[in-house]
Structure 1
Amino acid sequence: MRVPDLSFLKQEAEGGCGVVGLACNVPLEGKYLLQSLVQMRNRGNGKGGGIAALGLVPEQLGVSEKILREDYILQVAYLDRAARKQVEDEHIRPFFRIDHESRVEAVDDYRSIPSLAVEPPEVYRYFVRVKPEVLADFARKNNLQSLKDDELEDEFVYQNSYRLNLQCYSSLGEKKAFVVSHGKNLIVLKLVGYGDDVVKYYRLEDFKAHVWIGHHRYPTKGRVWHPGGAHPFVGLHEALVHNGDFANYHSIMEYLAQRNIHPLFLTDTEVSVLLFDLLSRVYKYPLEYLIEALAPTTERDFEMLPDEKKKIYRLIQTSHIHGSPDGPWFFIVARNDVENNAWQLLGITDTSMLRPQVFALQEGPVKIGIIASERQAINAVLGRLQQDGRIPSRFADSYWNARGGSYTDGGAFLFTVKGGEDGKELECDDKFGRVISLPEQDWLPGRRTAVALNVSVAIQLPKKGPHSQDPLGFYAYVRPALRDAGFQYAGEILEELKRLAWKGQESRRFAIQSLSLLFDRIYDTGYKKRSSLLHLYHEALNEIFSSVPLSNYDLYTRLDWKNRSRLVHPGLVRERMD
């Protein structure tokens, strides 16, 4: 009996947005972000998607390194293309020195991307600095002479974008144009669609950046089906994507209004990044205190803090608790730390950890940190990088979760790309500034798949006794040897298991279950990186699965996307799908 086609039935949406961020010591192309967004497409619904890129390559933008470092990248999305001259004449050219301007490249016909039901906006990019006379007049009229020059210029850019959005977009007005981003060395692009549609539509597959973030789905407040309502949202030098929903959205709106900050897009994600910008740029909180203001430490975790931290945290909570987001949320932030010439990727979880979050790190000549809503998105990035020969393994050296509002890690981790002796370096820290370091271990030799293993001598698996067809016994037998032996020994084990898989269905079951134990269990790998062993196990399992026939009458049957129509009900009650 064949399973009927039920594709016409409405499916319940995945419970949460898809968010991902990656930071690397070398610039990575957008195709790697695309891979993770495609993997998480089930978390989207085609009504909002966006990306941000930080730490860009000047040659790709047609500017010098000096201009890229010093200029603000003002990006304006024109919903009404005829409005561009008016917007430029009223909001850009009178106030800014424009060092370079261009239209952001896009595909010729948006309908060539099937999931785009709404034409994305035309985006123009301006590399700008505020004219000196304009800045002096702004300081005098607003009594801001005490600010440093860069602080004053930041504030002018911020307020000018607010005025442009208020006149040309705000949620209750006519929508002609809006500022997508205006920070230094940072761009944002978004549309009504999926996050991967952004990469395809704006031709970002080969566009390079040190830090990327991406988002599927729409904001949980405000006008959701409009490009201005999609994530990421920007403060000034930071862009934020968000999975969750605030229970105290209006409380935070009031908190911001008391400080003369008035959101225009009416989304909880917008107020999140405005709050982040307020604490960072205006109040100049160190990152630890900023995170504490957003996700306060409570109960036992608070009591476990050192006395000095308790004193400071209590003052922060007293001042900001009514502006702290309440409810399920997880933030990923791409931030240009202009003052310290560093690019940052930050993940923060709510105190109760009510939204999924995974962090990962792979070290090597190409060192990469990734944050995502789920592990499959992380592995999609690493798998593509390994396939292209950029990294040694398709798995991270370490995966972990943040514990919200905790005294141990603070519920947040930060990847920072900064200058080093031989180019850029990537460092990972927790909320308290403690460096996350991994043990020094060896990678799998060779840049691509399995090392050229010498398998002339297969291991002698015990022929009798409890080990013969007992995967747990086999695992207990080889585990100590995997700690002490080299990669060649691991390769010989895998070759023997693959050979056994051809001997019959029971032997195949034994091989699959044994490899699954090696893949899933945590054990001491000695001087070998666990990520490299996982890579070998994954390849061996793939080879065995690929050798399984398409027959529906064997103990195991192969089912892939191409042959999905062959799925049938089990013939016997005891049969199941492993």
Structure 2
Amino acid sequence: MDNVEKITISRAEICSQVPPLALNTEEEGGCGVTGFICSIPVTGKNIFEPSAQMHNRGNGKGGGIGAVGFIPEALGVSKQVLQDDYMLHIALLDVSVCTEIEDKYIKPYFKIDKSEKLATIDDHRSIGLDVRPPDVMRYFVRVKDDVLDKFIADNKFSSMDRRDAEDEFLYQNSFKINTHYYASLGEKKAFVMSHGRNMMILKIVGYAENVVKYYKLDDFKAHAWLAHQRYPTRGRVWHPGGCHPFSALNEALVHNGDFANYQAVNEYLKQRNYYPLFLTDTEEAALLLDLWSRLYKYPLEYLIEAMAPTSEMDFDMLPADKQKLYKAIQTHHVGASPDGPWFFIIARNDVKNDQLQLIGITDTAMLRPQVFALQEGEVQIGLICSEKQAIDATLISLTREDPRFGPIADKYWNARGGSYTDGGSFIFSLKDTPEGMKLICTDKFGKVIKTPKGKSVCDVNKKITVTEDYKPIKEKLDALFAENDYSAAADKIFTYVMDSIAGFNPDKLRFCIEAINDHALINDDSKHTAIRGLTLLNDRRFNTGATKRSSLQHVLKIA
């Protein structure tokens, strides 16, 4: 009997205690999802801005955020505790059950290194919330040695890695809390929001940006942030327990779309003693992630293939060894592959490989919007969103906070679902190196996504010192603007800048763009010429020399 079978058997008793739960198949999905991961920790106000930008994608009935990769001092714990302990976040819908939960499910089993109630604002109505969000208790815990020894012995886990057994104990304990205080009651009293290491999830009946305000996260820092706007599909739609993100163990997952095969996936999970308690398809996705990653220990590529199978022509384009492997994965798991329109963003503490990750996976037919972006320089950031407006809002917010960021990414792209080219998924992995935190972006197959190296950035806040060698730029532009045909003049201005940019340093480039902008103030003809010329520079693709294209676009944007 292998360890997977032993774990499945060990859950039989707790699964038998789950009451019959009615399945809901009526709601439809259409959410706003966004996430980003940085080489430096950044504040919660930077997830507030894209969430607020996607406010119209919400309805005030469900919003949530996730965060991964914290500063230990900000949480009042040591680096070792943050690295090793589970951060157990319990939402108290009825605060009177707090002591009971601690006495029954926490203190007997866990060594508690720190516990605290998360700070909140005084009045939820002051930020427009109709329903008071739950109080949240945070516990930094490890399973007591004697408790874990008994758990291992009782379930014959002696051949299992001890930390894996501890993970399973935590999972089963959280399942018991959710069963007793949430799933089995008409009046919900409490539930586990998240229980992973170096991560947290918070969710409310409201908008995602309200989470940041209510729990005072404006200045709280994390390497990765995640947000979901709107409400859950296939579940209790006006309750914080059903909102995204959902937790596997060390992952937080948000989802735009809904599963056409919700009940089939539900049965697949139950056969393996995974019982969804919140009745949402997003919860099912998180449980599939836990099953395939933590129990089956699939590499990420295999997991993505199980979620979004490669098919038809794309399958035929794969190398023979990949076809053989993927056929085996599909044979075993195609019945559980989410069907219908969906797009997942996953923030993950990959403890086995000592790295943080942000992962985007799209369905094979690409039926939900998705966009990826990467910016590299002194600091690095990877972004995954359901729409570009959220990326723009994030980068603008970060630029205000830290000038090392820019408001425009170096690269934007989309995934092609279930394809042989990129696999319909991209992964941003953040790892600590001797040179500091390093962010690498790869596709499903491990191919690295790169941006041009060794390019300069224009410092838009720096005063330009104009010298004699700037004079030819002004004279050339004066001559071009003097032409009668403003359309032809604009084309010539575009050609001049395109041909000259290789010889411009960042200051000369800024001077040139500002000179074009100054001409726009002279008269309407010059204004038309300037607008057309600047538009061509922004829209056309050409070699920008030693200057980053994103930096040129930044200069053009503020011109």
TM-score under structure 1 length normalisation: 0.88
Shift of 1:483: 4.2
1:454 aligns with 2:466: yes
Note the aligned Cα RMSD (angstroms). Answer: 1.8
Alpha-carbon distance between aligned partners in 1 of 2:329 and 2:475, rounded to the nearest angstrom: 61
- Return the letter of the residue paired with 1:396: A
- Return the letter of the residue paired with 2:505: G
Distance verdict in 2 for CA 1:451–1:213, change over 3 Å: farther
Alpha-carbon distance between aligned partners in 2 of 1:173 and 1:89, rounded to the nearest angstrom: 23
Do the aligned residues in 1 keep the contact of 2:84 with 2:197 (CA within 8 Å)?
A: yes
1:118 aligns with 2:131: yes
Alpha-carbon distance between aligned partners in 2 of 1:454 and 1:324, rounded to the nearest angstrom: 61
SS in 2 for 1:492: helix
Do the aligned residues in 1 keep the contact of 2:486 with 2:529 (CA within 8 Å)?
A: no
Do the aligned residues in 2 keep the contact of 1:36 with 1:377 (CA within 8 Å)?
A: yes
Alpha-carbon distance between aligned partners in 2 of 1:388 and 1:159, rounded to the nearest angstrom: 41
Equivalent residue in structure 2 for 1:304, among 312, 317, 321: 317
1:513 aligns with 2:532: yes
Match of residue 85 from structure 2: 71
Alpha-carbon distance between aligned partners in 2 of 1:50 and 1:419, rounded to the nearest angstrom: 28
Do the aligned residues in 2 keep the contact of 1:54 with 1:336 (CA within 8 Å)?
A: yes
Alpha-carbon distance between aligned partners in 2 of 1:50 and 1:171, rounded to the nearest angstrom: 24
Shift of 1:454: 2.8
1:369 aligns with 2:405: no
Equivalent residue in structure 2 for 1:130, among 126, 135, 143: 143
Alpha-carbon distance between aligned partners in 2 of 1:150 and 1:15, rounded to the nearest angstrom: 37
Match of residue 552 from structure 1: none
Match of residue 346 from structure 2: 333
Shift of 1:99: 0.9
Alpha-carbon distance between aligned partners in 1 of 2:248 and 2:29, rounded to the nearest angstrom: 27
1:59 aligns with 2:59: no
Equivalent residue in structure 1 for 2:106, among 92, 105, 108: 92
SS in 2 for 1:256: helix
Alpha-carbon distance between aligned partners in 2 of 1:184 and 1:406, rounded to the nearest angstrom: 33
Q: Gapped runs of 5+ residues in structure 2?
A: 1-27
Shift of 1:174: 3.0
Shift of 1:363: 0.7
Q: Name the stretch that deviates more: 515-524 or 152-161.
A: 515-524
Distance verdict in 2 for CA 1:173–1:136, change over 3 Å: farther
Shift of 1:470: 4.7
Match of residue 442 from structure 1: 455
1:196 aligns with 2:196: no
Match of residue 219 from structure 1: 232
Match of residue 398 from structure 1: 411
Equivalent residue in structure 2 for 1:164, among 177, 181, 192: 177
Match of residue 161 from structure 2: 148
Equivalent residue in structure 1 for 2:307, among 294, 313, 336: 294
Q: Give the 5 Å matches for 1:417-428.
A: 417-428=430-441
Alpha-carbon distance between aligned partners in 2 of 1:53 and 1:478, rounded to the nearest angstrom: 43
Q: Name the stretch that deviates more: 451-460 or 24-33.
A: 451-460
- Return the letter of the residue paired with 1:516: T
1:26 aligns with 2:40: yes
Aligned length: 525
The Cα offsets for residues 382-402 of structure 1, whole Å up to 9 and x where unpaired, read as 112222333252111111111
SS in 1 for 2:275: coil
SS in 1 for 2:382: strand
SS in 2 for 1:460: helix
Alpha-carbon distance between aligned partners in 2 of 1:366 and 1:112, rounded to the nearest angstrom: 36
- Return the letter of the residue paired with 1:413: F
1:206 aligns with 2:225: no
Percentage of identical aligned residues: 53
Alpha-carbon distance between aligned partners in 2 of 1:163 and 1:355, rounded to the nearest angstrom: 35
Match of residue 574 from structure 1: none
Shift of 1:434: 1.4
Distance verdict in 2 for CA 1:468–1:314, change over 3 Å: closer
The Cα offsets for residues 96-136 of structure 1, whole Å up to 9 and x where unpaired, read as 1111100011111111112x110000000001111112112
Alpha-carbon distance between aligned partners in 1 of 2:550 and 2:221, rounded to the nearest angstrom: 26
Distance verdict in 2 for CA 1:349–1:226, change over 3 Å: same
Equivalent residue in structure 2 for 1:41, among 55, 58, 83: 55
Shift of 1:468: 6.0
Do the aligned residues in 2 keep the contact of 1:79 with 1:122 (CA within 8 Å)?
A: yes
Alpha-carbon distance between aligned partners in 2 of 1:526 and 1:443, rounded to the nearest angstrom: 9
The Cα offsets for residues 214-235 of structure 1, whole Å up to 9 and x where unpaired, read as 1111111100111101110001
Equivalent residue in structure 1 for 2:255, among 229, 238, 242: 242
The Cα offsets for residues 401-423 of structure 1, whole Å up to 9 and x where unpaired, read as 11111111111111111111132
Q: Name the stretch that deviates more: 64-73 or 514-523.
A: 514-523
Do the aligned residues in 2 keep the contact of 1:18 with 1:215 (CA within 8 Å)?
A: yes
Higher helix share: 2
Shift of 1:484: 4.5
Do the aligned residues in 2 keep the contact of 1:171 with 1:266 (CA within 8 Å)?
A: no
The Cα offsets for residues 279-304 of structure 1, whole Å up to 9 and x where unpaired, read as 00000000000000000111111111
- Return the letter of the residue paired with 1:535: H
Shift of 1:504: 2.2
1:342 aligns with 2:358: no
Alpha-carbon distance between aligned partners in 1 of 2:75 and 2:64, rounded to the nearest angstrom: 20
Match of residue 499 from structure 2: 480
Alpha-carbon distance between aligned partners in 1 of 2:152 and 2:428, rounded to the nearest angstrom: 35
Do the aligned residues in 1 keep the contact of 2:36 with 2:224 (CA within 8 Å)?
A: yes
1:274 aligns with 2:287: yes
Do the aligned residues in 2 keep the contact of 1:244 with 1:329 (CA within 8 Å)?
A: yes
Shift of 1:371: 0.8
Alpha-carbon distance between aligned partners in 1 of 2:431 and 2:185, rounded to the nearest angstrom: 42
Shift of 1:305: 0.7
Alpha-carbon distance between aligned partners in 2 of 1:391 and 1:44, rounded to the nearest angstrom: 31
Distance verdict in 2 for CA 1:407–1:88, change over 3 Å: same
Do the aligned residues in 1 keep the contact of 2:361 with 2:425 (CA within 8 Å)?
A: yes
- Return the letter of the residue paired with 2:161: K
Do the aligned residues in 1 keep the contact of 2:379 with 2:405 (CA within 8 Å)?
A: no
Match of residue 567 from structure 1: none
Shift of 1:30: 0.7
Match of residue 121 from structure 2: 107
Match of residue 82 from structure 1: 96
* Shift >4 Å, 4+ stretches: 465-470
Equivalent residue in structure 2 for 1:285, among 298, 303, 306: 298
Alpha-carbon distance between aligned partners in 2 of 1:248 and 1:473, rounded to the nearest angstrom: 57
